[in-house]
Amino acid sequence: MAYPEEDPPEVSILLLGDAGVGKSLFLSRLTLGRDAPPDAKLPRLRDLDQPYPFNIRMYNRPYRFEFSDTASPTNYTLLRPSVIIMCYSIGDPESLESLQKTWKNVVETHFNYDESMPVIVLGLKRDVRSKADYGGNVNEKRQFVYPQEALRIAQEMRCDRYCECSALTGELCREVFEDIAKTAAMTTTSNGGKTQGTECSVM
């Protein structure tokens, strides 16, 4: 079946998470496209320009993905996303705990209109883990989150996917965007975008 190029399906995607976890930087990286070099300069985005549109082609048809985050000029609780991405900083264990204590409740309270809506957990600032100097001293506070720890929490929250990347270095950003794009595209089908159990995209 042919789809008109000028009328691609639109999928609204909302990023939730504490301030400072890296949502804006991740969106900035996405604007460069999937083939941008890791050292490309990241543009500064304006909150007033949300939602940020991304036009791509998948499965021989065009799609338009519209990304917003908690700084949206429209109160984010009033948005009607088709996909939710709960974000935390790998360099801030408390921001992962906040997904359980705060943001899961936000999702269940304000976005419970669609039980088939996929929810993704995204770990940002992956580069922090490789830079961390953690000697294992029991009195030393760990400054990063292990991937298996975050995956366990994503599974406990019954989220559909877990993935992580570094917007600063570009590490795994292409793979994460492809995961998000596939999930978003599936929401336009009769089967919806939910998966059977949590999938993990960590390399």
Higher per-residue confidence, 201 vs 162: 162
Whether 170 shows a pLDDT value over 80: the answer reads yes
Per-residue pLDDT at 140: 59
Per-residue pLDDT at 131: 79
Per-residue pLDDT at 197: 59
Per-residue pLDDT at 175: 94
**Tens-digit pLDDT profile for residues 71-108:** 999 999 999 999 999 999 999 999 999 999 999 999 99
pLDDT band at residue 39 under the 50/70/90 scheme: confident
Average pLDDT score, the chain: 89
Q: Is the domain covering 10-201 a CATH 1.20.1730.10 domain?
A: no
Nearest CA among 14, 25, 201, 191 for reference residue 107: 14
Whether 47 shows a pLDDT value over 50: the answer reads yes
Higher per-residue confidence, 127 vs 200: 127
Whether 139 shows a pLDDT value over 70: the answer reads no
pLDDT band at residue 1 under the 50/70/90 scheme: very low
